[in-house]
Amino acid sequence: MKEVVILLGSGSIGQAIARRVGAGKHVVLADLKIENANAAAEILENAGFKTSTVAADLSSRESILNMIEHAQKFGEIKNLINAAGVSPSQAPVATILKVDLYGTAVLLEEVGKVIAEGGSGVIISSQSGHRLGALSEDQNMQLATTPTEELLNLPFLKDIVDTLKAYQHAKRGNVLRVMYEATRWGKRGATINSISPGIIITPLAADELKGPRAEGYLKMLKASPAGRAGTPDEVGDLAEFLMSSRGRFISGADFLIDGGTTAAYWYGDLQYLKKTH
Ligand SMILES: NC(=O)c1ccc[n+]([C@@H]2O[C@H](COP(=O)([O-])OP(=O)(O)OC[C@H]3O[C@@H](n4cnc5c(N)ncnc54)[C@H](O)[C@@H]3O)[C@@H](O)[C@H]2O)c1
């Protein structure tokens, strides 16, 4: 039996993290699209990692439980990486909330019941959650602590009609839920944190940067403090630190990794985006 790493969402960001924390362990590659998990498995196996794949839907408790059962066949679950999600241009409001908000909350709840002593996890949120204005203390409390099966019935979520707003609430919700779950994971001797990336070059983002909205994106990146987009490896390096022995004093925290874009959005050269983003 080995220590097990679960990666849900076997895309570029998830793979970068798995490569940094998966050596000598068994890496479970899970994805809604099994072909994505299989493609990641081929790359990782050829790089010396031990893997298995399983189809899993973040928006379904049954599917999450099936993934956990699969993982436990190989050993104790030591690490969780959630890099699965849908973006505002990929899905309608209801799907974004069901996958990104509800699904992440269920995943944290279920893995939090079985995570190994000394374990750690990261949830990939987004800079988008940092573009939402302040919510009330009550709304924060509700997103953090409402029982998972009641989460999607929160009245202020029912009012959302715009996919970007849905994504922003889901990603803010991830950060708050991680804080709540850190208190539960801590009782098992495990840590859990979130990472909020800015634009990271993945196949999808690379397409956007060549597509019809390329000009707007390039202008935004140029005006950001870093002057460029990020890479999956930079997110991987941060996640590795959080999940390593050096990160044991860090739990329930969110880390923005966006080249300063959020700072420029609120207080600098990107304030023009407030009208549309
Ligand atoms: N790329 C960026 O610029 C960026 C920026 C901020 C946040 N993020 C977040 O990072 C995460 C990973 O994004 P990425 O850029 O690596 O994208 P990606 O498309 O490469 O990977 C996402 C993976 O999630 C899978 N997935 C989608 N819905 C799922 C579901 N219901 N259950 C299980 N798997 C599902 C997809 O099949 C895909 O393999 C997402 O949560 C995204 O919101 C990305």
Residue 204 CA to ligand 1 center (angstroms) comes to 9
Rounded mean pLDDT for each run of 10 residues along the chain, 277 residues in total = 96 98 98 98 98 98 98 98 93 97 99 98 97 97 98 96 96 98 98 98 84 86 96 98 98 98 97 85
Q: Which atom number of ligand 1 is nearest to the Cα of residue 85?
A: 41
What spacing in Å lies between the alpha carbon of 84 and ligand 1's midpoint? 4
54 Cα–ligand 1 center, Å: 16
Query: What is the Cα–Cα distance from 55 to 135, expressed in whole angstroms?
Result: 35
Q: Determine contact, residues 196/257, Cβ cutoff 8 Å.
A: yes
- In sequence order, the 6+-apart residues with CB closer than 8 A to the CB of 207 are none
Q: Give me the phi and psi of 218, to 5 degrees please.
A: -65, -35
Cα(202)–Cα(124) distance, integer angstroms: 14
Amino acid making up residue 164: L
Which of 171, 180, 219, 275 is flagged as catalytic? Answer: 171
Site to probe by mutation for ligand 1, drawn from 61, 87, 104 as the one with most ligand atoms within 8 Å of Cβ, is: 87
**Catalytic: 171?**
yes
- Whether residue 39 has its Cβ less than 6 Å from ligand 1: no
Evaluate: CB of 33 within 6 angstroms of ligand 1: yes
Q: What is the 3-state secondary structure (H, E, C) of 60-97?
A: CHHHHHHHHHHHHCCEEEEEEEECCCCCCCCCCHHHHH
Tokens of 75: 């050993």
Distances (CA, A) of 234 to 20, 225, 257: 11, 16, 8
Expressed in angstroms and rounded, the spacing between residue 187 Cα and the centre of ligand 1 is: 29
- 274 is known as an active-site residue: no
**What is the C-alpha separation between 12 and 248, in angstroms, rounded?**
26
pLDDT at site 30:
98
Topology of the domain covering 2-275: Rossmann fold (3.40.50)
pLDDT at position 45 is: 98
Predicted local distance difference test score (pLDDT) of residue 209: 83
List the chain domain ranges.
2-275
How much is the pLDDT for 229? Answer: 96
Find all residues with CB under 8 Å of 274, minimum gap 6, and list them.
265
Query: How remote is the CA of residue 62 from the centroid of ligand 1, in Å?
Result: 20
CA pair distance 147, 256, nearest whole angstrom: 27
Predicted TM-score of the model (pTM): 0.97
Q: How far apart are CA 238 and CA 260, in angstroms?
A: 15
124 lines ligand 1 (CB under 6 A): yes
Of the candidates 102, 167, 180, 265, the residue annotated as catalytic is: 167
Q: Is the beta carbon of 10 within 6 A of some atom in ligand 1?
A: yes
Verify whether ligand 1 is closer than 6 Å to residue 88 (CB atom). Answer: no
Whole-number pLDDT of residue 143: 98
In angstroms, the CA 265 to CA 277 distance is 9
